[in-house]
A and B are shown apart, each in its own frame.
Chain A
Amino acid sequence: MSDLKEIFEKNYSPLCNYANAIIKDYNLSEDVVQRVFIQLWENKKLLNLDNPAPYLMKCVKFKCLDHLRSKKSHIEMSESELPDVESNSISELLEDDIEAVFAFLTAQLPPKTRKVFLMSRKSGMTYAEIANELDVSVKTVENQMGNALQKLRILLVKHHYLPSSIVFFSKIFNPN
């Protein structure tokens, strides 16, 4: 049991990153996440979830897909119904949006760790190049890369992100 403000603070930025990976628009992403919270404002069920993140992601995804389907501007966006607070795991979100889940999880890394991690993963820089760019030692870069994976592992466990279902889904969609 926790209060809505606490849930909001923890999840706002990660959810905006999640939405942005789907609809590729920072302003619209913020709008989507804010609309979800306004709709859930007095939803007591949300406060009773052990870990509300997977449900919130589902609501955000729902609204994002709604937007992509209707291609309406955010001013006209309808107040569509949100999904039920029931199945509560990230894994079923994975079938087509691992990119978005990645954004959601990476947004929760500490700033320095995230910076190093993205420089390595996104910009493809070597440890030496990153160390040089940030004026730190190669050892520090190695530490931060280790931190990133460790923190991601903790988040994966916390959000019941089960890889068996990834295999399951990838088998369904890519039989070979």
Chain B
Amino acid sequence: MENIYQILAKYFQGKTSPEENILVDEFKNKHLKEYNSLEQLWNAKLAEVKDFDHEQAWRIIQKKAIGKKTKTISLYRRIASVAAVLLILASASIYLFSDINEPEMITVMNNSESTMHIELPDKSIAILNKDASIQYPEKFENKLRNVSMAGEVFYDVEKDNSRPFIIKTLHADVKVLGTSFNIDSNSEETSVSVTTGTVQVNSLSTDESVTLTPGEKALITASSLIESKENDDNYISWKTGVFTFEEESVSDVIASLSEYYNNKISLSTTNDNCSISTTFDNMELKYVVEIISVTCNLKIRETNNVYELY
């Protein structure tokens, strides 16, 4: 099923069907301003776009900005040498102090095909799903533990009542004292599901806050915050490798398994009558496929360890 943004892209290229045009009209009626600006951007004359290296540039401007300060000091020196010495000492200590205040940031991206375990400076654990990334300082400050992230990450946070642990995503700040929970954040939405303890979520767009307890979930988008029960038994299966299904249709089962098994399992039948109740506990894909095939009476087609059920 295509989402509205895919349809809009086709619409701007004049390639939509009459049915899709109706969907575009609906979007236009609801979000006229946003529609107009997207159309405006789409029709803009196109500039070149490339990536500039901010790390090197930061070193350059840091040096120049600090250099500006030193110049001021040499001016004072002409006026009174004693004062100058004091000033130089003061500026040196400011320089050292500012260095301490700005710890090195560490960025980790999980480009591998499996999950990645990271121990943070306070001994909290972050487990990154494929394609997830996290940024944190080499050493946490005295009052706060701040990290930023994108993608899906499970956290087990060390308890420290004096230093809240705050995770920043595109849509929300998630604040905790010590607990474990899962965050899945993409460009569209951020979802937070709690395993143990309590977690406070603050939406950046609406500035609403909710406090979540185990089994609860919050979904934050660019315009809303929705609180609900976490009904998906498998929300941390990507980490545990354990999948539990209770009377679920074969297509839902395969949809749940697909990402974990690197898209090496697919279903190509429209017959979705069969339902499955079972647990797969860190099972090799070929056995998973066999069990589904036997349960639902489906055939298996295998090419280079990629399985298609039909």
Chain A interfacial positions (CB closer than 8 Å to B): 3, 5, 8-9, 12-13, 16-17, 20-21, 26, 30, 33-34, 37-38, 41, 98-103, 105-107, 110-111, 114, 118, 120-122, 142-143, 145-154, 156-158, 161-164, 166-167
Task: Pick the contact of A121: B2, B3, B46 (CB < 8 A).
Answer: B46
B45 touches A12 (CB 8 A): no
In the complex, whether B287 has a CB less than 8 A from a CB of chain A is: no
B9 CB–A CB distance under 8 Å: yes
A153 and B57 within 8 A (CB): no
Asked if B54 is an interface residue, CB under 8 A from chain A, the answer is yes
Q: Report whether A38 and B38 are in contact in the complex, using a CB–CB cutoff of 8 Å.
A: no
Which B residue sits closest to A22, measured CB to CB? Answer: B47
User: Would you call A122 and B36 a contact (CB within 8 A)?
Assistant: no
Pick the contact of B52: A17, A98, A158 (CB < 8 A).
A17
A-B contact pairs, 18 of them (CB 8 A): A5-B58, A9-B58, A12-B57, A17-B48, A17-B50, A17-B52, A21-B48, A107-B49, A118-B49, A121-B46, A122-B46, A142-B6, A149-B5, A149-B8, A149-B9, A152-B38, A152-B41, A162-B37
Q: Please report the C-alpha to C-alpha distance between residue A166 and residue B44 in the assembled complex, in whole angstroms.
A: 12
Give Cα A104 to B36, complex, Å.
18
List which B38-77 residues lie within 8 A (CB) of chain A: 38, 40-42, 44-52, 54, 57-58, 60-61, 64-65, 68
By a CB distance below 8 angstroms, the chain A residues around B68 are: 38, 41
Q: Is there contact, CB below 8 Å, between B52 and A16? A: yes
Given contacts A21-B48, A145-B5, A146-B6, 17 further A-B contacts (CB under 8 A): A5-B58, A8-B58, A12-B52, A17-B50, A17-B52, A38-B64, A41-B61, A98-B40, A103-B47, A118-B49, A121-B42, A146-B2, A146-B3, A152-B38, A163-B37, A163-B40, A167-B36
Tell whether, in the assembled complex, residue A98 and residue B5 are in contact, meaning their CB atoms are under 8 Å apart.
Answer: no
CB distance from B308 to the nearest CB of A (A): 15
In the complex the two chains form, is A99's CB within 8 Å of B44's CB? yes
Residue of B nearest to A100 (CB): B47
> With A17-B52, A103-B48, A157-B222 in contact, do A166 and B8 touch (Cβ < 8 Å)?
no
User: Which residue of A99, A106, A157 is within 8 Å of B45 (Cβ)?
Assistant: A99
Considering the complex, give the chain A residue whose CB is closest to the CB of B41.
Answer: A102
| B81 proximal to A (CB < 8 A) | no
